[in-house]
Amino acid sequence: MPEIQPYTDQDRLFIDTIRTLSIDAVQAANSGHPGAPLSLAPAAYVLYRRIMNYNPVDPNWPDRDRFVLSAGHASMLLYGSLFISGFDIALDDIKQFRQLNSLTPGHPEYRHTPGVETTTGPLGQGFANGVGMAIAEKYLRERYGSEVTDHRIYAICSDGDLMEGITSEAASIAGHLGLGRMIYLYDDNNITIDGSTDLAFTEDVTKRFDAYGWHTLTVDDGEDLEAIEAAIRAGIAEEHRPTLIRLKTIIGHHAPNKRGTHAVHGSALGPDEVAATKEALGWDPEQHFHVPAELALESQAFCRSRGVNLQIEWQNRYDAWAQQNPQLHDEWYSTLLGSVRPGLGELMPTFADTPKMSTRVAGKESMQAVGKHVGNMIGGSADLVGSTLTNFNGDASFTKEHAGRNIHWGIREHAMAAAVNGIALHGGVAKPYGSTFFVFSDYMKPSIRLSALMSLDVTWVFTHDSVAVGEDGPTHEPIEHLAALRAVPGLIVFRPADATETAAIWQLAVEELRGPVVLVLTRQDLPVLDRSKLPSAKEVVRGAYTLVDAEHPDAIIVATGSEVATAMSAQELLAAKGVTVRVVSMPSWELFGIQQEEYRESVLPAGVPKISVEAASSFGWAKWVDHSVAIDSFGASGPADQVLAHFGITPENVAAQVEKTIARLAKAKA
């Protein structure tokens, strides 16, 4: 461990600048959390000035250390640190804290503020994102070498983070995998919004993390810069276990009348307390947003110069590596640019000679092709590989000893989802994925929402998609889940009709689509549609397309997933009665919704009765159709065909509902 150089009065002036900027910004906005920035400014300063490798001139330098402020409510701590560290944040941006369209929103937002590595705010998410980042770092370091990837993940988390269940799952898998490149500082200030943590949180955190297999340390004084640095460096030296540093702080430190109370947690200090705090720090209470000019210039110049030199040193190592490893370089660099090398289509499976296949099995075969072509795609399932079939055959598992491609998340859907986001946030890994039964997407919903909010290139793979799960019953039969995910802005949800659509969607998701993609797949076998007589499955790119057409149709049946085959059988029953029906496969509402109006009208023309068929909630279908054959209750336990019949998901009932809808609309028109 290097010798720790003493901290000077100038260092403390930097720290107090972060503090005063934070309380001024919160006061000006009359909104925010001043307490944590006041108490954590020393720790943040040690990280940004003495510990972390980053380049403010190029915040996306691939081999930078990552910093996650899991306690996102303390966002001014981060903005103040980024400002004095030379990132592209001006004093005017600090003054616009929590204002519309500013660079300093109420919680850190990815892709919005330079130097922010992930969107935090929902407590525990950032903690688990960091675990994913550490998984990505370990995987990339093993695959490409330390010339390309050789850095660490740092985070600050709060009592609130550690109370959230997602953190327990994430800490457990991090300890199990021995992610030694993680160093987390736990802000142990004994205060939450309601008051003392004694109200609800009295566990021994150190013992808990010891049990998870973490390296635990304690710093008794959050103002002791040398002790903070020594603890962080001890964490750096521990390569085989993640490190949690229990940092004892006084929330709102230096606010003489409110320090150590919940009054400084979620509201501005007030003008009098701001003035009193500045006086306690030896600052002029009449000066607001004051930054000693020479101080800011020195700090920013130092951090920028240091960062540029660090990146140049890395670039030299990287260039030499790239010359010696052209194929690996091509793979890594294209992923970094967000693209996949051409040629995947040649590898994708075809199913022309297969009469029936579940879409989960088709998904498995598609994944094998993707895995062969995209060597740096990783992910796994929540202890359900045997059911979701989402792993790369023949590839190694990700373990403490070896960073293979197949991650065994265990029964930890919450942590899996947030960590997959972290893998994507880290960069260098292509389309990381997480998988479980569709009904358990409920456990993952907050992270799925954040994947959409951050526009992350992740793939969510869900199987056992409907009441056709059968005997497992309503606890395992998703009903409202499609509607819930379709409601998330920026999320593309697919429910393929057959094996061929499944392969086409996998190719589309990997090669063309940006942002998060959801695949919803069946357990039961479905007919593989004869594409020699029907349109190509490549039409899934439009979201919906005419599968079976009829000249001047009397009605249109719109179906998704397993119900497309049901719709086609209903069409045949109606044709025998002289009722002409068009059948539309609609695997993705989202992609269909962004097509040109002319195309949408050609598929679903106005004035023609439209009926949807989907073994799920009818919620939302009114946008597209006049009537829905759906399930607006919970499911039931029994053999799949009996359960489907019980809920009217049969060709006979669909045909009857089509006739009733035609008659009803004709009567209304008359």
The predicted-structure confidence for 524-534, as pLDDT tens digits, reads as follows: 999 999 999 99
Rounded CA-CA distance 1/499 in Å is: 57
User: What are the structure tokens assigned to 548, written together?
Assistant: 């079976």
User: Within 13 Å and on the Cβ side, how many CA atoms surround 396?
Assistant: 11
Comparing CA positions, the residue from 622, 603, 499, 623 lying closest to residue 544 is: 603
Tell me the helices (H) and strands (E) count for the chain, helix number first.
23, 20
Rounded CA-CA distance 338/456 in Å is: 10
- What pLDDT was estimated at residue 44? 98
Average pLDDT across the chain, whole number: 97
Phi/psi for 395 (5° steps) reads: -90, 155
- pLDDT bin (cut points 50, 70, 90) of residue 343 is confident
Q: Give Cα separations from 2 to 219, 239, 430, 669 (angstroms).
A: 19, 16, 37, 84
- The 8-class DSSP code of residue 360 comes to H
How big is the chain by its Cα radius of gyration, in Å?
Answer: 28
3-state secondary structure of 494: strand
Rounded CA-CA distance 544/584 in Å is: 7
Rounded CA-CA distance 43/36 in Å is: 11
Phi/psi for 154 (5° steps) reads: -115, 150
Tell me what percent of the residues of the chain surpass a pLDDT of 70. 100
Domain 9-310: which CATH number of 3.40.50.970, 3.40.630.10, 3.40.50.1820, 3.30.70.260: 3.40.50.970
294 has pLDDT over 90: no
Rounded CA-CA distance 255/23 in Å is: 10
11 has pLDDT over 90: yes
551 has pLDDT over 90: no
- What pLDDT was estimated at residue 337? 82
| Residue keyed to tokens 């496969």 | 585
646 has pLDDT over 90: yes
Cross-sheet strand order for the sheet of 243-248: 66-69, 153-158, 182-188, 243-248, 215-219
1 has pLDDT over 80: no
Identity of the residue numbered 179: L
Rounded CA-CA distance 573/555 in Å is: 13
Global pTM reads 0.98
485 has pLDDT over 80: yes
Give the helix/strand (H/E) hosting 216: strand 215-219
- What pLDDT was estimated at residue 296? 83
Mean pLDDT of the region 647-662: 98
- SS (HEC) of 68-112: EECCHHHHHHHHHHHHHCCCCCCHHHHHCCCCCCCCCCCCCCCCC
- What pLDDT was estimated at residue 295? 84
Per-residue pLDDT tens over the stretch 344-391: 999 999 999 999 999 999 999 999 999 999 999 999 999 999 999 999
341 has pLDDT over 90: no
Domain 344-527: which CATH number of 3.40.50.970, 2.40.128.20, 3.40.50.920, 3.30.460.80: 3.40.50.970
- What pLDDT was estimated at residue 342? 83
| Residue keyed to tokens 């230096």 | 254
- What pLDDT was estimated at residue 338? 83
- What pLDDT was estimated at residue 2? 80
82 has pLDDT over 80: yes
Mean pLDDT of the region 165-184: 98
- What pLDDT was estimated at residue 572? 98
Contact yes or no for 558/610 (Cβ under 8 A): yes
Per-residue pLDDT tens over the stretch 406-434: 999 999 999 999 999 999 999 999 999 99
589 has pLDDT over 90: yes
- What pLDDT was estimated at residue 101? 96
Contact yes or no for 587/544 (Cβ under 8 A): yes
Q: Give Cα separations from 621 to 228, 375, 417 (angstroms).
A: 56, 39, 28
Contact yes or no for 276/29 (Cβ under 8 A): no
| Residue keyed to tokens 């050609």 | 602
Q: What is the CB neighbour count within 10 angstroms for residue 349?
A: 17
Phi/psi for 554 (5° steps) reads: -75, -25
Q: Return the domain boundaries, the chain.
A: 9-310, 344-527, 537-669
- SS (HEC) of 379-394: EEECCCHHHHCCCCCC
Mean pLDDT of the region 628-657: 98
**Which residues, at least 6 apart from 4, have a Cβ–Cβ distance to it below 8 Å?**
226, 229, 230, 233
- What pLDDT was estimated at residue 328? 94
Q: Which of 325-339, 344-358, 622-636 has the lowest mean pLDDT?
A: 325-339
- What pLDDT was estimated at residue 159? 97
Q: Which of 122-126, 192-196, 520-524 has the lowest mean pLDDT?
A: 192-196
Per-residue pLDDT tens over the stretch 218-240: 999 999 999 999 999 999 999 99
Q: What is the CB neighbour count within 10 angstroms for residue 337?
A: 8
Mean pLDDT of the region 93-121: 98
User: What are the structure tokens assigned to 86, written together?
Assistant: 């030379």
3-state secondary structure of 453: helix
166 has pLDDT over 80: yes
Beta strands 153-158; 182-188: pairing state: parallel
Length of the chain: 670
| Residue keyed to tokens 């289509």 | 345
Active-site amino acid positions? 413
- pLDDT bin (cut points 50, 70, 90) of residue 339 is confident
H-only helix segments in 85-191: 91-95, 125-144, 159-163, 165-177
Q: What is the CB neighbour count within 10 angstroms for residue 402?
A: 11
Rounded CA-CA distance 403/447 in Å is: 24
- pLDDT bin (cut points 50, 70, 90) of residue 450 is very high
Q: What is the CB neighbour count within 10 angstroms for residue 407?
A: 27
User: What are the structure tokens assigned to 109, written together?
Assistant: 């937002």
Contact yes or no for 28/22 (Cβ under 8 A): no
User: Within 13 Å and on the Cβ side, how many CA atoms surround 479?
Assistant: 14
CATH topology of domain 537-669: Rossmann fold (3.40.50)
DSSP 383-450: S-HHHH--S-TTPPBB-SS-B-SEEE--S-HHHHHHHHHHHHHH-SSSS-EEEEEGGGHHHHHHHHHH
